[in-house]
Amino acid sequence: MPGLVSQLTAKLPQQHRWALLSLVLLSATIVFWPRPSHTPAAVSAALLPSQLQASWQPWSLEQKVQRQLQKLQQAMAAELSSQSTNALVRHYTIEPGDSLSRIFSRQGLSQQQLHQLMAADQSLLALDVIRPGHSLTFQLDKQQQLQSMELLLHAGHRVLYQREDDGDFSYQELLNAGDWHSTTLVGDIQGSFYVSAKHAGLTDAEIATVQQLFRDRINFSRDIQTGARFQVVRSTNYVDDQATGQSRIEGVRLFNRRQQLSAFLHDNGQFYDANGESLEHAFMRIPLDRTFRISDDFNPRRLHPVTGRLRPHNGTDFATPIGTPVLAAADGTVIRVENHPFAGRYVEIQHHGHYKTRYLHLDRALVRAGQRVGRGQRIALSGASGRVTGAHLHYELHISDRPVNPMTATIPLAQPLPEDGRAAFFQRVAFMVKQMDEETLLAQQH
Ligand SMILES: [Zn+2]
Tens digits of residue pLDDT in 222-279: 889 999 999 999 999 999 888 888 889 999 999 998 889 999 999 878 899 998 988 8
Question: For the purposes of burial, counting CB atoms within 10 Å of the CB of 81, is it exposed (0-12), middle (13-18) or buried (19 or more)?
Answer: exposed
Q: How far is CA 12 from CA 26, 74, 78, 79, 213, in A?
A: 20, 13, 12, 9, 64
State whether 305 and 399 are in the same domain: yes
| Of 129, 158, 175, the domain-final residue | 175
The CA 314 to ligand 1 mean position distance, Å, reads 7
Q: Is residue 5 domain-resident?
A: yes
Cα–Cα distance for residue pair 1/32, rounded to 1 Å: 15
The CA 387 to ligand 1 mean position distance, Å, reads 10
Cα–Cα distance for residue pair 248/261, rounded to 1 Å: 19
State whether 301 and 360 are in the same domain: yes
State whether 205 and 158 are in the same domain: no
Is residue 232 within 8 A of residue 185, CB to CB? The reply is yes
Supply the pLDDT for residue 71: 63
Supply the pLDDT for residue 60: 47
Ion ligand 1 residues within 5 Å by Cβ: 317, 394
Q: Is residue 157 domain-resident?
A: yes
Supply the pLDDT for residue 413: 63
State whether 170 and 93 are in the same domain: yes
327: Cβ–Cβ under 8 A, 6 or more apart, which residues?
Answer: 284, 287, 288, 289, 375, 376, 377, 378, 379
State whether 274 and 183 are in the same domain: yes
Q: Is residue 289 domain-resident?
A: no
Supply the pLDDT for residue 292: 93
Q: Is residue 83 domain-resident?
A: no
State whether 342 and 322 are in the same domain: yes
Cα–Cα distance for residue pair 35/21, rounded to 1 Å: 23
Q: Is residue 59 domain-resident?
A: no
Per-residue pLDDT tens over the stretch 326-364: 999 998 999 999 999 999 999 999 987 789 999 999 999
Structural domain boundaries, residue 8: 1-29+65-70
Q: SS3 for 227?
A: coil
**Nearest Cα residue to 235 out of 302, 180, 168:** 180
The CA 12 to ligand 1 mean position distance, Å, reads 54
Supply the pLDDT for residue 380: 98
The CA 296 to ligand 1 mean position distance, Å, reads 6
State whether 299 and 395 are in the same domain: yes
Supply the pLDDT for residue 414: 62
The CA 349 to ligand 1 mean position distance, Å, reads 17
| CATH number of the domain residue 237 falls in | 3.10.450.350
State whether 217 and 255 are in the same domain: yes
Q: Is residue 42 domain-resident?
A: no
Q: Is residue 337 domain-resident?
A: yes
pLDDT < 50 positions in the chain = 1-12, 30-31, 34-60, 78-86
DSSP string, 37-100: ---GGGGSTTS-HHHHHHHHHHHHHHHHHHHHHHHHHHHHHHHHHHHHHHTTEEEEE--TT--H
The CA 312 to ligand 1 mean position distance, Å, reads 10
The CA 353 to ligand 1 mean position distance, Å, reads 25
Q: Is residue 362 domain-resident?
A: yes
Q: SS3 for 411?
A: coil
Question: How many domains, in total, are found in the chain?
Answer: 4
The CA 299 to ligand 1 mean position distance, Å, reads 10
| CATH number of the domain residue 378 falls in | 2.70.70.10
State whether 383 and 346 are in the same domain: yes
State whether 108 and 204 are in the same domain: no
Cα–Cα distance for residue pair 31/9, rounded to 1 Å: 22
State whether 313 and 392 are in the same domain: yes
State whether 159 and 119 are in the same domain: yes
